[in-house]
A and B are shown apart, each in its own frame.
Chain A
Amino acid sequence: MKKFSQLALPYIIWSIIILFLPVLLIAFYAITDSGNAIVNFNFTLQNFVKFFTDPDFLLILWRSLSIALKTTIICILLGYPTAYFISRCKDRTRNILILLITLPMWINMLVRTYAWIGLLSDGGILQSLLNLLGFKSTQLLYTEGAVLLGMVYNFIPFMILQINTSLSKMDKSLLEASSDLGANRFQTFWKVTFPLSIPGVISGIALVFLPAVSSFFIPKLLGGGQYFLIGNVIENQFITVGEWNFGSAISVIMAIVMMVIMYLVRYVEKRNSGNRREKKV
């Protein structure tokens, strides 16, 4: 047995190299200043100071977090009923619906986002439709709304699939038991179905919130220059400005922020269900 597990060693080493090395490199860049020679490094926290003392960067960070939060909330509000509906369908219908939901994901995200530009642009289909309905010509593209739409559109399948999985694998006899004990459909949903689907919602949040926070091409394409998010700042630092150290520092800050947030979400969930399960005497 021991010998057998040794076979995994090359794989483990390889994983360490491809998974951790880039992260370590980013961390390393974040705490050094630019212009390093290969042999002597200047360690510094200047990059972090720069970020936290500039109100513009903090505003962008706040804006990124808030739009990711909005995206996540909208995805839950739209995704949960959809997933609930899908999970109640017969096997065949369910498979078809899941296929329909995942179908857009077969096409490159970038291409799909470009398609939205066409739909939302001045004189595009949506605007013409609104005009027809008597709404005044309004700007659709390059607004916060457009960015939000793009994010929800791109990330909602992850939410639906996660919630649907946890709802579908739920033991149906629990629902019967609840009904048997006097709970109507509404009560059964809030007391049994919903609490048991929370793990699905949590993984949905992770899959939507994290990419939404750091997304850069959706705000770039649908927000135009008007709507700058933290992902765009990082991209700029690396590609336009060439400040790799500062870009790395922002990435590290983002990583820590997201870790804290996910930890908080799980902590809240655990404490809630823990309370229900085992009150320590």
Chain B
Amino acid sequence: MEEKVLIKFRNIIKEFDGTIVLKGINLDIYENEFVTLLGPSGCGKTTLLRILGGFLEADEGAVIFDNEDIKELPPYKRELNTVFQKYALFPHMNVYDNIAFGLKIKKMSKDVIDQKVLRMLKLIGLEGFENKNVTTLSGGQQQRIAIARALVNEPKVLLLDEPLGALDLKLRKEMQYELKRIQQEVGITFIYVTHDQEEALTMSDKIVIMKSGEIQQVGTPQEIYNEPVNKYVANFIGESNVISGTMIEDYKVKFDDQIFDCVDFGFKPNEKVDIVIRPEDIDIVPLEQGKITGEVLSVLFKGVWNEAMVETVPGTTVKVNMNVIKNHDVESEYSDERISANDFYVDIEEVASLDDNDIIARADAQAWKESDDSYTSISKIEHNLEEKLGEYTVTFQTASGLTVSRKIIVVDQKFVKNEKANEAVSAFNFFKTVDEIKESVALDTDLKTWANAIGWKLSNEDEAVDIYVDYDFDPENIQEGIYQVTFSTEGRELKVHTTDYVEEGQEVGLTFEVEDIHVMEKMGF
């Protein structure tokens, strides 16, 4: 196929009310291509299309169409036509007049118009519909007419703005094939905007993946699927396991404390990278034959295959004690004011940076009026905290002089390190009253806050790791006493698509080919 650039976007920048929606787009579109702009809503794909259509003007940059800058041209002078999201058929015209609209504007003769319209109706498979009222047609039929109305003008480019969005699933699939067929038959460039990755993979010659006003990757569906440039693209197209790791040297990548051969090269030694392995590229084998091993956590039947989640690296776990105590609000003798606070633990390294606000938060100190439930502020905090292990007293006081004293216990907090999973978790024992637990609306989150539970990557202390909470008490009916709360990370779970039979709880080996490991640059922020 002769490759000729038809449209060039050069450094297109567009801003709406102070938000930059296109951050310098550069893109070439060739003749006879089916190009898809793919991205989530708000990524700027429709804006780019509307700039090409002439309905919006770019703040900066040039749109070159057939070697001509068309920035100044109004829509009606551009050699392209658009199929709108909701078709935008003229309700006061029948099918024939809708399709003939552009031709009548060009003042073509009646015979020619007749011929062309009938040919279009044939192309879209709606012969005999010319006198029908467009408002009485089904969504799919309206869609076809919108396409015919645009194509009859013989544009060099057809723009399609999520044209299948309003159709139901089955019709959408049919129209996908239909659109591809029409494109191949008329042989012009189609620029197609969608957020549906499957649509993009099915129809496109070229996919442009966009995110927040920037192009992430341009390539054929195969390239994008097999060689995603980063984590975002890998996750957006198809299902994938994205693992962070390190490129030791060319053809050697390390993740989860293991070194694997791969086909990627050209990275800096020890560069941090993301690795993608597609679920269908992983095979389940007997334990001793696996490159890695793990426990099957869950199996979902997906029709042709089973989707198994295999935990290859166990998570990191910290158990802490939760001291549940009786309500111990202090009541004022003179008014209905109350004050409450809890004892708490703090790490010795944290003591220096602990200010009054932190202490109020950690002790969960509160003062309020019983009569109308209004909060009053804590005006004074006194403590004798030192950077030494031991117990200290803190006193909270309100403006009216009501006070409560609690303990701060300074400890040398140990954290649990997990070299294999490259992470660590820490959490503190804590004190809570029965009421506070019963009244919590999001207990998991509260437990994490109360225990100050955090997880981080050993390789980078600023990178947080998600933590999950587990406990076996009933928060509705909790009594005083000491309870164990477990904070743990997920570990490494790999999604595997397999046709083999596996059972939950089974220990399995996993293997994959060298070329199934695809190494990507870490995404910049």
Contacts and interface: CB of A to CB of B under 8 A. Distances in A.
Contact of B93 (A176, A184, A276, A281): A276
26 contacts: A173-B85, A173-B88, A176-B53, A176-B88, A177-B84, A177-B89, A177-B149, A178-B90, A179-B75, A179-B76, A180-B53, A180-B75, A180-B150, A181-B76, A181-B150, A182-B153, A187-B105, A191-B105, A273-B92, A276-B92, A276-B93, A276-B97, A277-B93, A278-B133, A279-B94, A279-B131
Given A181-B101, A184-B76, A191-B101, A176 B55 contact: yes
A184 B106 CA distance: 11
Contact of B90 (A179, A180, A182, A192): A192
Contacts of A278: 94, 131-133
B482 to A, nearest CB: 61
B133 A277 contact: yes
Contact of A181 (B55, B102, B131): B102
A173 B82 CA distance: 11
Interface in A143-187: 171, 173-174, 176-184, 187
B74 interface: yes
Contact of B76 (A171, A182, A191): A182
Contacts of B74: 179, 184
Given A278-B131, A278-B133, A181 B153 contact: yes
A191 B74 CA distance: 18
A22 interface: no
Contacts of B94: 276-279
A174 B92 CA distance: 11
A266 to B, nearest CB: 16
B91 A196 contact: yes
Given A277-B93, A279-B94, A281-B131, A182 B88 contact: no
Contacts of A273: 92
B463 to A, nearest CB: 45
B86 interface: yes
B131 A180 contact: no
Given A177-B82, A196-B92, A182 B102 contact: yes
Q: Which of A174, A181, A184, A273: most chain B Cβ within 10 A?
A: A181
A117 to B, nearest CB: 45
A278 B135 CA distance: 11
B184 to A, nearest CB: 23
Contacts of B54: 179-180
B81 interface: yes
Contacts of A242: none
Interface of B: 53-55, 74-76, 81-82, 84-86, 88-94, 97, 101-102, 105-106, 131-133, 149-150, 153
B157 to A, nearest CB: 12
B88 A171 contact: yes
B90 A174 contact: yes
A167 to B, nearest CB: 14
A182 B106 contact: yes
Given A273-B92, A276-B92, A279-B131, A181 B84 contact: no
Given A176-B82, A182-B105, 17 more contacts: A171-B88, A176-B55, A176-B88, A177-B82, A177-B90, A177-B149, A178-B90, A179-B76, A180-B54, A180-B75, A181-B149, A182-B153, A192-B90, A276-B92, A278-B131, A279-B94, A279-B131
A81 interface: no
A195 interface: yes
A176 B76 CA distance: 9
Given A191-B101, A278-B133, A279-B94, A180 B86 contact: no
A176 B84 contact: yes
Contacts of A178: 90, 101
Contacts of B149: 177, 181
Nearest to A172: B88
Given A183-B76, A195-B92, A277-B92, A173 B86 contact: yes
A264 B163 CA distance: 41
Interface residues of A, number: 23
Contacts of B101: 178, 181, 183, 191
A188 B428 CA distance: 71
A32 B244 CA distance: 99
Interface in A44-75: none
Contacts of B90: 174, 177-178, 192, 196
Nearest to A188: B76
Interface string A69-107: 000000000000000000000000000000000000000
Interface string A234-267: 0000000000000000000000000000000000
Closest 9 A/B residue pairs (Cβ): A181-B102, A177-B88, A173-B88, A179-B75, A182-B105, A180-B82, A195-B92, A277-B133, A182-B76
A27 to B, nearest CB: 39
A276 B131 CA distance: 9
Nearest to A281: B131
Contacts of A176: 53, 55, 75, 82, 84, 88
A33 to B, nearest CB: 52
Contacts of B102: 181-182
Nearest to A175: B88
A241 B82 CA distance: 69
Contacts of A174: 88, 90
B92 to A, nearest CB: 5
Contacts of A182: 76, 102, 105-106, 153
A278 B96 CA distance: 10
B43 to A, nearest CB: 21
Contacts of B53: 176, 180
B133 to A, nearest CB: 5
A273 B93 CA distance: 8
A171 B55 CA distance: 15
A123 to B, nearest CB: 53
Nearest to B104: A191
Contacts of B91: 196
Contacts of B92: 195-196, 273, 276-277
Nearest to A280: B131
Q: Which of B90, B93, B153: most chain A Cβ within 10 A?
A: B90
A196 B93 CA distance: 10
A273 B105 CA distance: 19
Contacts of B89: 177
Q: Which of A191, A277, A278, A281: most chain B Cβ within 10 A?
A: A277
A277 B96 CA distance: 9
B141 to A, nearest CB: 15
Nearest to B152: A181
Interface in A20-40: none
A191 B102 CA distance: 11
B81 A180 contact: yes
A278 B74 CA distance: 33
Nearest to B55: A176
Interface string A183-226: 11001000110011000000000000000000000000000000
